[in-house]
Amino acid sequence: MSGGIPTDESGQTGNVYALVQALFHDASNEGYDRRAIAEALMCGARDVLADDTEFLAVFDRFRMLHLR
């Protein structure tokens, strides 16, 4: 990815999404379980947004539905 960091949130979100997808595919190609990858990505997001109550509620629902 080149060209600098977009200043608007939508552009930044798009760039981060592309980077995360590349990371996901690399880990998947190395044999990591898809759920383990998803949980690690969600945990990373939770750590970044530790003071975001709305995000934490969504994260908890995701874990209850998909990671048990």
Q: Work out the average pLDDT over 58-64.
A: 82
How high does pLDDT run on average in the chain? Answer: 86
Q: In three state form, how does the secondary structure of the chain look?
A: CCCCCCCCHHHHHHHHHHHHHHHHHHHHHCCCCHHHHHHHHHHHHHHHCCCCHHHHHHHHHHHHHHCC
Give the sign of the dihedral formed by CA 2, CA 44, CA 60, CA 49: negative
Whether pLDDT at 58 is above 90: no
* Predicted TM-score (pTM) of this structure: 0.63
Q: How many CB atoms lie under 10 A from the CB of residue 13?
A: 11
Query: Which pLDDT does position 27 carry in this prediction?
Result: 96
